[in-house]
Structure 1
Amino acid sequence: MNGSDIRNIYCIGRNYRLHALELGNEVPDEPLVFTKPTHAIAPMNGNVIELPGDVGEVHFELEIVLRIGRAYEPGMDADLCVDGMTLGLDLTLRDVQSKLKAKGQPWLAAKGFKGSAPLGNWLPYPGAAALAEKEFVLVRSGSEAQRGNARDMLFGVSELIRYVGERYGLGAGDILYTGTPAGVAALKDEDRLLAIWGDDVVGSCSVKLV
């Protein structure tokens, strides 16, 4: 699946308690859902991703991303909806987001800019229970920046799929960013990023701030 095959991009905010707290946000009592346009998709295949460098800090947020292969139907086993997984970056213009939040305005300018949704290589989906058997890691320019595990999600995969599917709809071709653990920070020009699932690198890219 490439960017042209993806229909809807759903993202979950504040799904790891420590990440919510590190940004001074309240821990939600139900999933916080936002979207990105499909033009935000970018590969992580050793390429260079150009990002805005003149509007404040660009933060990295590494996340487990699920690919929907079958439309959600009420009451179904949520695992049956998913046919692939990878790691992806929910890139965020943090200064822009802070200004939007202060005004009570939508996050699109901070979350939906071109290149804000880099994706690694798709892998077979092992099931919600097996996701917790491996950790995911973001290495930035040779140093570990983030480490997470699906078991630390406030809202697990099944709950997220039911919530999004019942309220917004989930169909084949949709993808779901499931939230980021603590450790987010600003990217620097020429940063080299590796997205690691267990022992395997599933995506890599370099950053160019323009």
Structure 2
Amino acid sequence: MNKVNNIYCVGRNYAAHAKELQNEVPTSPMLFSKPTHALIEAAGQEISLPSNRGSIHFETEVVIRIAKPYETGIKVDDIVESIAIGIDFTLRDVQSELKKKGHPWLLAKGFPNSAIVSKFIPFPGIEEMKQNDFSLIKNEEKVQQGNITNMIFDLQTIIDFTALNFGLGEGDLIFTGTPEGVGPVNDNDHLTLLWGNSILGECFIKFD
């Protein structure tokens, strides 16, 4: 995997997902970040997750890799180099407690191996992306499926907002939000990440 500088994540970018967790639908992009220590590629191996911090939920997302430093007015097709399918793992019980206290989500979102990505493929362009769904199969059952057409904030809006507020440059990744259908993972689960009908990554979950 090429060097990654920053990992940005968009929360609540699909209305049905916001509603399934009883959250308000945002009126502007809601971003958080993960440390680079959270990143791991799903290449058929076992991936370790903590067993002693409550329920861990999968959130399947399209991940975009930025090719060059952001400039005002730059278009998606000119700044996105490649895409992957990713999982934003969340310590759901921990996150619920953090929300109650009004604290940041980092403890629930930033633990090691909490940012899984498949292999990256060349960016196919916005129109082709709209023709393909992304999905997660857990133990031979499709548990999540989404399409970028259902995003509240499209890729251009996400890129512009991220760059304006945090900066955006070569090697940065953006997890663009998850559709409805999130749920828990368990020890020995087999996860498969698909773009259309193509398998881009898979792994087995191992609880420590």
How would you bin the TM-score normalised by the shorter chain?
over 0.9
1:202 is matched with: 200
1:171 is matched with: 169
Deviation at 1:129, TM superposition (A): 2.5
2:120 is matched with: 122
Deviations 1:133-190 (A, max 9, x none): 1001100001010000010000001111011111111100100000000000010110
Q: How many correspondences in the alignment?
A: 208
2:96 is matched with: 98
Question: 8 Å contact 1:10–1:176 — kept in the other structure?
Answer: yes
Deviation at 1:12, TM superposition (A): 0.1
1:13 is matched with: 11
- Percent of aligned pairs with the same amino acid: 45
TM-score by length of 1: 0.97
Structure 2: runs of 5 or more not aligned: none
Please show how residues 1-210 of structure 1 align to structure 2 within 5 Å: 1-2=1-2, 5-210=3-208
Structure 1: runs of 5 or more not aligned: none
Deviations 1:32-62 (A, max 9, x none): 0000000000110001111011111000011
TM-score by length of 2: 0.98
Question: 8 Å contact 1:78–1:162 — kept in the other structure?
Answer: no
Question: 8 Å contact 1:22–1:182 — kept in the other structure?
Answer: yes
Deviation at 1:126, TM superposition (A): 1.2
Q: State the alpha-carbon separation in 2 of the partners of residues 202 and 145 from structure 1.
A: 16
Deviation at 1:78, TM superposition (A): 3.0
